[in-house]
Structure formats: structure tokens, C-alpha cells
Structure 1
Amino acid sequence: MLCAPTGKAAKRIEEATGREASTIHRLLGFNGKTYARDSQNPISADVVVVDECFDHNQCVLTEYGWDYIGRVVNQRKDVRVWSRDPETGLLQLRPIIRWLKHPAPDRLLKITAGRSRSTRHARVIRCTPDHKILTPYGYRRASDLRIGEEIVVRGHRFTPEQRSILVGSLLGDAGLYRGEARSSPQVVLVHGEKQSDYLDFKRKAFGTLAGKVRASKSGYSGDDVLHMSLAVNDETYDISKEMVLNGKHPSGRRRWSPTNRFLEMVDELALAIWYFDNGSSGERTLKDGTKRYSATLHTQRFSKADLYRIAEFLNIRFGLSPSVRPDSRGYWILVFNTEETEKLFDIIRPYTPACMSRKIDTDGRYSYQPSVEQDTCVARIQEIEQCEPSQAHVYDIEVADFHNYVAGNIIVSNCSMIDVPLAWHLFQAIDLDRTSVVLVGDHNQLPPVGPGNILRDLIDSKVLPTTILDDIVRQAGILKENSMAILKGEVPKTPQRDTSLRGAWYVCDQHTDADRVQRFVLDLFEHTLSEKLGFDILRDVQVLTPTHKGPLGTVELNTKLQRLIQRKLWNHDVPPAQPGKRPKLLINDKVIQTRNNYDLGVMNGAMGIVRSVSVDGSLTIEFEDKMVHIEAGSPHRGDIQLAYALTIHKSQGSEFPCSVVIAHKSHSFMHHRNLLYTGVTRASRTAIIVGDHWGIANCAKRVQVDARKTFLSLLLAGGT
């Protein structure tokens, strides 16, 4: 059996092992008051039977291509299959170590995900209801999934740079072909023969998504052109829905109207690509030899009304003020005067490839080529239906490195979070004559909020076999090295790096005043985390701070971040909260459950998103594995709090792509090395430490976690 102190830790175990895990409270049958499991009713863990199988004709991807899982099992084929590395998201070949066959149930579930219906790319499985399917939030039973939910599939997604280049190309010379004759929308990049180097720049940028470059004739002018198709993925469908067909231009080109959502995808790189596709500039030399330019965007694809919308968007998003004018043929275009042209060029200059330097008279050096081509992505479930098995048996395989075989053992993750009362109840419910216990945790993290320091005391007693795991798998590279340096009292500075790439480690200690540090954190969310680092500020980024109070505490940060994020992502202006009162929860707010709620089935530390707020104040919240409705006036409402900022203690057992960790002198009474270490090790990609120089250094130097007054290690060493 697998269990963990918190629900989030249990989810991470499931994702790492592919096996079901529960919280310790659930394993012990805790109902909020009493424990069902104790010395008189111990946990039974002799055998774990998992009924998780596929239909005989379900295809699995082997090193030699697709094969029926039934045939692989019946013939016990010694082949390797492709498996997803949970750390990198990449597919790797791993050997099969078990072949499993069971009698088929009466009904299977057929789950279809993604948009493709082609034989090669369709995502369809037929499995037993208990089979676990990987989602972005861990493994879930097939029977628990619903239409519209996301699962992890084989396939590709656009990187942020690829998406921007695609959006700019669609505004420019690219074509999107769709219709009744096509089962999927097809993007084709088209450029003249003289722009072959520009098309090659795009080919490299799209990597494995790019098709072959072919020569053809233009459908409008009859000139020789080069074209390149892009592989279709789910995002192609999503983007195509934001391009509304709007008749034809007199030139013969198809017209379409961009939705507001499409325009939101236009960033600096997309604007640059649009200009390089469809822009031109006139040059004028002044008496003193300086040059002045006036730029034009040729926009035959859009109506006059759409051009006014686009001009308004460019003004709001980039501060540009182009004019909508007719050209010599009467076609409507966007014109930039000399001043506006300089502003436009300043924006797009950093994204100029060498082959387009002539268009804005600069030494273009921009290039993009994906360093790692992800071959798994996320797709939404389109259909779920029952089906009959094709044969009398169902089948499963176990793959090396991604599954653990568990019998008679209890594996507990993050045991540094177990306090004395919970540990007592756990060991009371274990029959040590038949069940082994393996405790897994990080003794360098914070001790539990409750009494005791169980894991550290057990290690210090030296009476139990202990193995130190010194390889951090959540983190790698500079993030891993710098996290370990904190345990030595050191906080490495921000490393020198290519500013066009996202870094893994940032230390921002230039401000001493707490209010200035707060403004800096807000500016990160406003201008940097998504725009420059490519993070989803709602789902990827977590602010971690030592305390609840003050300008850098969770209460004030949550209030200000709620207003900022609601305005930035959903254009919703949140009125200031009344003094002394908690802010109202709004749709799309990130929230956290603050205590175990056995009535709702939601555990302490579970994080979710508010999906609806009724007029009467009732809420619907989507937690990681379920939708929960809370009536207005319910006492359960008091256990839900905003979660844009959390205390570092509350974040234990969790993991985030980006952690913004606050270490400021105003919290010096709480500072110690393990606090900072716990904060930065919550990050899997990027850690950002924010504070003042003294506060950050003081936090790393102070060693306080050992100061808890406990006797467990002495009692164990004495044989008690």
C-alpha cells in the first residue's frame, strides 16, 4: 500500500509509481473524530490486487511499432515499449517485466481524446473502469474521468515561441485550409522563392512539426512560391476556431475575422512575424544624413471594420497608433507614421532573424529552434462510452522503472510532515509481524506543524536501517545545485545566462523596504512571469512566504494578487476588500482547502479553481480529482481560502513549476535554513527568491530546525 500525509503528496506518488495512493488519514479510516484502524483492527496488506486491464485489440506502441496488447501478453513478447518519463515528459523505451491476463468484465470503457480521427494519430482506448490514466494532475481511474477533462497523450504541442510564430504567420502569408473535404484544419506557410531563407527559419523553429518544403504556383498571382505544411495538433483546432471566415477580398484572397481571443495571442514575436510576412517600409534621408522610415502592413485578409479593431488592439497592447487607410488600389491597409514606425521597429527588432534584417535596417540575430521536442502533451476527452470486450480476457503489462510491485509493505512519502499523534495512530494500526514499514522523506525540510520531529528523531537514534537518497529527481542542473547550496548556508546569485532563455534560478535582493518588495512581486505577475518566462500565472506559479501577516504575508498578497490576476486574465476589476474582512471568492480564483473535510471528501492542502459562484454565494470548486459544491452559509466555506500565496509550511508535499519564495528581514523571527530550502525545493523548473540582501543571507545562515525539544531519539537509543 502507498500512502502520504497529504492528498497532494499522495497524488505525486501515484504519478511516479502508477499505483494508487491515499492519505494516511484515509488509510486509517479516520472519520474526523475516530480511527477505524488500530491494534485490534490492523491494516491488512498481504496482497494488493489491481484490476486494471485493456481489451485484446488495444494497440500498444512497441519498439517495432503498434501491436495488440493481447498478442503481446499471450505470446509473452520480449519487446520494449515506449513509456513516459514523468520528469521530462519524453518517451523512452523500457522492457516489459510482467504480462497480465484476467477474465473480461461485461463492459469496458471506450475513451476518445483529442481531435484527430486518423488511424495514425487517433487517441482511443478500451479499458476496464479501474484502469488508471495519466492526467496533468496524476493518475485517475477511467471511471472517474469525464468528457472535457484533460489527459496526457502521445503527441506534440506548440512551444510559446512556435505558437507566436504561427499566429504571426496566420496574420501574414500563411493559409489555413479547412472544410467538409478535410477532417482537420491544415496550416500551410507560403513564401516566394526569394524568401527561401525566411521559410527555412520557420522550418527550424517548428522542428518536428514542420513538413517538407515544396515548390508550387501561387493561387493568386501565378508566381513561383515555396510552401510548407505543419503537422496538425489539438492547438491547431483551437486556433482555427478563433478565425471566423468572412467572405473574399477583391484580390481573391479569403477574408477572415480574428476573435478577441485570437488577438490575445498576438505578442511581440507574433507582431514581428506578421510584419516580416506582410510589412514594408518607405525610406527618407534627411539633410543631416539620418534616415526616417514609414511602415505599412498590407492587410487584404481583413475588412475595414476588422482593421479598426486590430488598430485599437495594437494601441492597447503595444502603445502603437497606426492609421487605417486605402492604398492606391483601394485596398485597406495599416499605415504607421515616422514616430509610430520607430516604436514598431523598437518592439520587433529583438525578434528579427538575419534573413529579415533588410526590412528594418538592423543586424538581426534572432533564431529559435526547440532544444527538447516534447513527444507527449495534453488533450481533452471528447467521448466516453461503454463497449463490449472483443474477447473473453483483458490484458495488462507492467513496465520497468514506472511501476512498483507492492505486497506487505507500506511506503510513506514525505514523512517529515508526520507529527507524533499521527505517527502513533499509524504504528498502532500495523501488525509488524506481517507488515514492513518504509518511511520516505526529506529530513532537511521543515518539521511538521504538529508536535515532534519524527523523521529526524528516527534517523538520529541510529537504531533503524537508514539510507540517504542524495540524488534529487524533482530538480536538475543549476536548480538542484543551488538548492543543495542552501543547506551549506549559501545562496548563489542569479547565474549569467542567455536572456532569451528562461532561467532556473533568480535571486532578487535589490529592495529593502517590504512595500517595495511587494510591488516587485506584483510586477513579476504583471510583466514577467508569463510574458518573459512563459509560465501560466494561475496554474504554474506559486508565491511562498513565511507568515500570514504584513505586506509580504499571505493575507495581503492574496488580496492584491487576486485583483491583479482577475484583471489581467479575465478583464475583471475586483473592488477593494473591506478592512478586516476576507475578499469574496470569484470565478477562476485559485483556492486551497485548509483542513480535512470528510463530508466533502477534500483533504487539507488540496488546491482547486472556483468554477462558479451563484447569486446566493454558493460555490462550485474544481479540485484535482473532483467537483465540490458548497452551499451559501455552509461552515465548509470557512475552510476555503485564496491560494495565490501560501505559507511555506502549507506548501510541503506540493510541487510547482515556478516558486516565488519571499525571504525578507521583516520575517527574520521565522527565518532558518530549512525554511528557505523547503521553499526553493517546491520548484520543479524555476525558483525565484525575492527579498532584501540581509534577509535572504540571514535565512540561509540560521540553523533552527534542530531546536525542537523531543525525547524520541533518546528513548529509541535507550531501547525503550
Structure 2
Amino acid sequence: VGAGMVLRDLLNSEIVPTTRLQTIFRQRDKSPIIYAASDVNFGTIPPLDKFNQAKSWMDVGECAMLEASSPEMTAKSIVELVKSMKKENVDLNQQVMVLAPQKEGAAGVHNLNKLLQPIFNPKNSKQQEIVSGSVVYRIGDRVIQLKNRYDTVPPVMNGETGRVIAVDEQKQMVKISWEGGAIVDYYPGYFEQIMHSFCITCHKSQGSEFQYVIFPLLMSNYIMLTRQLLYTTMTRAQGTFIAVGQPEALKIAVTTDKPAKRFTGLMALLISPIDELTKTFSNLGKVRGVASTKPSKVTVASRLHERGLTATPGQMTTIGTIALQLYEDKYGHRPSKQLEQVGKFRFKTYHYETAAVELIDSAIDLVMRDE
């Protein structure tokens, strides 16, 4: 998930032994999900079973769409759908996952988690709770880790799911049992590393599977709606996939083909003769030796320093936003993020190639001149 596409380049180079997986194990044989996902892959709108009332979910097929006219109505319909599933004795915590394209909005991850918590894990009168911002944690809550944590045994990885097993209101502590085996206490200052996982982003779900998958599908998420996102989300479902939202958004998702593009150059190196590779790396070593006295990367902060300019934090943010947009427009990807020391603070910032310094200068000139 980081820079490069190593596995793709290795496969395309055809220099390593490969095995093609052709048997589907997640869904049952001839599952409608398989055919619908295949349609999406080839740019064809799948024939999802349409229905208009959440309580009718059992009367439609395994690949369906509950129509809703707006984000607010979509969120309400998802809540009603989950309630209806619970009435039919579906084990929500073990079998149901809501996957959303974005975190914000009425039908985004944050709001849906708030709406779904009372259904997935109703509060009882004796239950202790911890309030962190606008989020309430109680025993039994399903949660997900948002960043790698190496200070636990075993480490808790980004995307790992777990369950709240204890709460101490006096100590403001939440104890979580993670699927990887770690049992970890979380105190204020660490709560930003976790969130509820009744609903998670489609991106976080990659590699996982659930018996029932519910997917808010709305025009308000059009920037995120792609064939690849829809295919990934549909194929997380083992038994039933239900999209909730607007049919026109389904069309947008299917017809928008945006595969990940990373121009790595690795495949060309993999298939190059040994003598050419030796020459290439020899030249790289020489270039690196010559350039060692001059930084190969430049940041907004370092460029301002070189030019003898002082910018406020707000100006720095604006300059960085403009420079990043200029860079993406020109190169089609983002620069790398690395740690940088700015004053007494140390945090990750974008590091641009020196060839892109003119873009940073343009952003600096625009912001500083306007100020």
C-alpha cells in the first residue's frame, strides 16, 4: 500500500514463478455476487434486485439495492435495514459490516457508527462508558485500529479489528482485545488511534470478508465512486450484498474506470540484462556521489528558509496545499512523505524532487504576494 507496485511489476516481468487463482471460495458456487462483480469489472451495470422498504430485504436476491433519495434517507434506510436483520436473528457483530466510501457526511463512516452503535451494542443501565469527544465507548463495542502500534505484544496493526472488553470510567480507560491476540489498555491521548467498526471505509475492508455487506451508494460520493471501489466492496460479501442509495450513483461507479497508476520503472529493471543493470547502478552511484553535498529533496519549509522568507502556520498550510495540487496536476501522483524538523516540532511533510522547486516557488509567490 506504500510507494511502488512491487507485486504487479514482478508478475508482469514474467521472471518469477506464478500461480493463477481461478477458484472462488468466498462466495458459494454460482452466487449472484460473482456474476454482478464480473459485470462491474467489465463495465456493465449489474442487474441488482431493487426494493424500497428495508423490511423486505429477505424477499430479494443475494445482490440487491435498497433505493434512497438522499444521504439522510440512505443513513435512515441503513439503520432500518440493520434493525430488520436483527429481528431475523442475524448476528450483527459476527456477520454484518457497513462499508462506506467516505468518513464524512450523513451516510459517512463517522455518522453511521453513531447511528449503528445502539443497534449493534445497546446500552444497559449498569454499563460503564467512556466519552472521547463525540464518541462513546462501552463494553462489547466493535472497534478498529487506525495506525500500526509496535509497543504492544503482539503489535496491533492498522486495520486490525477488536472488541472492547472492559471500561474504567474513573481511570478513563478502555481495554480492547484484538484479533491478533493483543489485549491493550487505551487512555486519553490514544483514543485517536481507534474508532468504532460497525461501519468502516471500503479501503479498510480490503482482504476481509463478511456474510452481509451493506454499502451506501450516493452521488455525493462521486469523487470516490469507481469500478475498482465497487468491485472490491461487492466481493467482501460472502452471502449478501446490499447497496443503499441512488441508482444513478451505481451507473457512475461502474462507468468510472480508474485503476491505480504508479510508474515505477521496476519492471524495466527486472528484465534488463545484467550488464545494463550494472552500468545503470554504477551511474546512479556516481550521480549520488556528486549530488551528496546538495539536498535531493525540497520541502515548503526548507524552500522558504532558502529564500529568507517567514510564513505563518496558515500561510504554510495554504502554500503546501497549492504546491501539492500543482505537483499532482503535472506528475499525476503525490510526492513522498518523510519526517522533517520544523523548529522544535518533528512531523511528516511532503518532500518534492528538486526539479519541482519551481512549483513550490509559484505557490509561495502566490500566497505571500496575496498577503
Smaller-chain TM-score range? 0.5 to 0.7
The offset of 1:627, in angstroms, is 5.7
Letter in 2 for 1:660: I
Q: What is the alpha-carbon distance in structure 2 between the residues aligned to residue 606 and residue 535 of structure 1?
A: 23
Letter in 1 for 2:35: E
Partner of 1:520: 77
Partner of 2:232: 678
Aligned positions of 1:294-309 closer than 5 A = none
The offset of 1:541, in angstroms, is 0.7
8 Å CA contact retained: 1:630, 1:637: no
8 Å CA contact retained: 1:593, 1:605: yes
Partner of 1:556: 111
Are 2:63 and 1:505 equivalent residues in the alignment?
yes
Aligned positions of 1:604-643 closer than 5 A = 604-615=158-169, 616-626=171-181, 628-633=183-188, 635-643=189-197
CA RMSD for the aligned pairs?
3.0
Given the two structures, how large is their TM-score scaled by the length of structure 2?
0.63
User: More helix per residue: 1 or 2?
Assistant: 2
Partner of 1:474: 26
Q: What is the alpha-carbon distance in structure 2 between the residues aligned to residue 625 and residue 484 of structure 1?
A: 33
Partner of 2:87: 531
**Could you say if the C-alpha distance between residues 662 and 711 of structure 1 is closer, same or farther in structure 2, counting changes exceeding 3 Å?**
farther
Gaps of 5+ in 1: 1-447
Q: What is the alpha-carbon distance in structure 1 between the residues aligned to residue 249 and residue 270 of structure 2?
A: 38
Letter in 2 for 1:507: M
Size of the alignment, in residue pairs? 264
Q: Partner of 1:584: helix, strand, or coil?
A: strand
Partner of 1:139: none
**Could you say if the C-alpha distance between residues 564 and 637 of structure 1 is closer, same or farther in structure 2, counting changes exceeding 3 Å?**
same
Are 2:261 and 1:704 equivalent residues in the alignment?
no
Partner of 2:248: 694
The offset of 1:622, in angstroms, is 2.2
**Could you say if the C-alpha distance between residues 691 and 499 of structure 1 is closer, same or farther in structure 2, counting changes exceeding 3 Å?**
closer
The offset of 1:630, in angstroms, is 1.0
Q: Partner of 1:610: helix, strand, or coil?
A: strand
The offset of 1:603, in angstroms, is 2.0
Q: What is the alpha-carbon distance in structure 2 between the residues aligned to residue 547 and residue 712 of structure 1?
A: 32
Letter in 2 for 1:523: E
**Could you say if the C-alpha distance between residues 496 and 667 of structure 1 is closer, same or farther in structure 2, counting changes exceeding 3 Å?**
closer
Match of 2:211 among 657, 669, 679: 657
Q: What is the alpha-carbon distance in structure 1 between the residues aligned to residue 57 and residue 145 of structure 2?
A: 38
8 Å CA contact retained: 1:618, 1:629: no
8 Å CA contact retained: 2:219, 2:249: yes
**Could you say if the C-alpha distance between residues 500 and 669 of structure 1 is closer, same or farther in structure 2, counting changes exceeding 3 Å?**
closer
Letter in 2 for 1:662: P
Letter in 2 for 1:650: K
The offset of 1:512, in angstroms, is 3.1
Q: What is the alpha-carbon distance in structure 2 between the residues aligned to residue 571 and residue 677 of structure 1?
A: 42
8 Å CA contact retained: 1:655, 1:683: yes
The offset of 1:542, in angstroms, is 0.8
The offset of 1:451, in angstroms, is 2.0
8 Å CA contact retained: 1:515, 1:551: yes
Given the two structures, how large is their TM-score scaled by the length of structure 1?
0.34
Q: What is the alpha-carbon distance in structure 2 between the residues aligned to residue 565 and residue 653 of structure 1?
A: 23
**Could you say if the C-alpha distance between residues 644 and 500 of structure 1 is closer, same or farther in structure 2, counting changes exceeding 3 Å?**
closer
Aligned positions of 1:568-607 closer than 5 A = 570=124, 581-600=133-152, 601=154, 602-607=156-161
Q: Partner of 1:657: helix, strand, or coil?
A: strand
Q: What is the alpha-carbon distance in structure 1 between the residues aligned to residue 254 and residue 187 of structure 2?
A: 44
Letter in 1 for 2:70: D
Q: Which has the larger radius of gyration?
A: 1
Letter in 2 for 1:455: L
Q: What is the alpha-carbon distance in structure 1 between the residues aligned to residue 108 and residue 245 of structure 2?
A: 13
Q: Partner of 1:705: helix, strand, or coil?
A: coil
The offset of 1:539, in angstroms, is 2.1
Letter in 1 for 2:269: L
**Could you say if the C-alpha distance between residues 456 and 629 of structure 1 is closer, same or farther in structure 2, counting changes exceeding 3 Å?**
closer
**Could you say if the C-alpha distance between residues 716 and 631 of structure 1 is closer, same or farther in structure 2, counting changes exceeding 3 Å?**
closer
Q: What is the alpha-carbon distance in structure 1 between the residues aligned to residue 150 and residue 57 of structure 2?
A: 48
Q: Partner of 1:707: helix, strand, or coil?
A: coil
The offset of 1:495, in angstroms, is 4.7
- Deviation per residue, 1:458-516 (Å, 9 max, x gap): 333333343332221111222222222221123423359998678422122x2231111
Q: Partner of 2:99: helix, strand, or coil?
A: strand
Partner of 2:202: 648
Letter in 2 for 1:506: A
The offset of 1:607, in angstroms, is 0.9
8 Å CA contact retained: 1:671, 1:698: yes
Q: What is the alpha-carbon distance in structure 1 between the residues aligned to residue 218 and residue 107 of structure 2?
A: 8
**Could you say if the C-alpha distance between residues 546 and 631 of structure 1 is closer, same or farther in structure 2, counting changes exceeding 3 Å?**
closer
Q: What is the alpha-carbon distance in structure 2 between the residues aligned to residue 452 and residue 711 of structure 1?
A: 9
Q: What is the alpha-carbon distance in structure 2 between the residues aligned to residue 573 and residue 517 of structure 1?
A: 30
8 Å CA contact retained: 2:75, 2:107: yes
The offset of 1:641, in angstroms, is 1.2
Partner of 1:455: 7
Q: What is the alpha-carbon distance in structure 1 between the residues aligned to residue 58 and residue 101 of structure 2?
A: 32
- Deviation per residue, 1:566-597 (Å, 9 max, x gap): 34x7589999x89xx34021121110111222
Q: What is the alpha-carbon distance in structure 2 between the residues aligned to residue 499 and residue 585 of structure 1?
A: 30
Identical columns (%):
28
Q: What is the alpha-carbon distance in structure 2 between the residues aligned to residue 499 and residue 660 of structure 1?
A: 11
**Could you say if the C-alpha distance between residues 496 and 706 of structure 1 is closer, same or farther in structure 2, counting changes exceeding 3 Å?**
closer
- Deviation per residue, 1:29-83 (Å, 9 max, x gap): xxxxxxxxxxxxxxxxxxxxxxxxxxxxxxxxxxxxxxxxxxxxxxxxxxxxxxx
Match of 2:102 among 547, 552, 564: 547
The offset of 1:645, in angstroms, is 1.0
Partner of 1:494: 48
Q: Partner of 1:677: helix, strand, or coil?
A: helix
Q: What is the alpha-carbon distance in structure 1 between the residues aligned to residue 9 and residue 162 of structure 2?
A: 34
Aligned positions of 1:394-413 closer than 5 A = none
- Identify which of structures 1 and 2 has the higher relative contact order when contacts are C-alpha pairs closer than 8 Å and 6+ apart: 2
The offset of 1:685, in angstroms, is 1.4
**Could you say if the C-alpha distance between residues 708 and 511 of structure 1 is closer, same or farther in structure 2, counting changes exceeding 3 Å?**
farther
Q: What is the alpha-carbon distance in structure 2 between the residues aligned to residue 643 and residue 492 of structure 1?
A: 28
Q: What is the alpha-carbon distance in structure 2 between the residues aligned to residue 517 and residue 574 of structure 1?
A: 31
**Could you say if the C-alpha distance between residues 500 and 599 of structure 1 is closer, same or farther in structure 2, counting changes exceeding 3 Å?**
closer
Q: Partner of 2:121: helix, strand, or coil?
A: helix
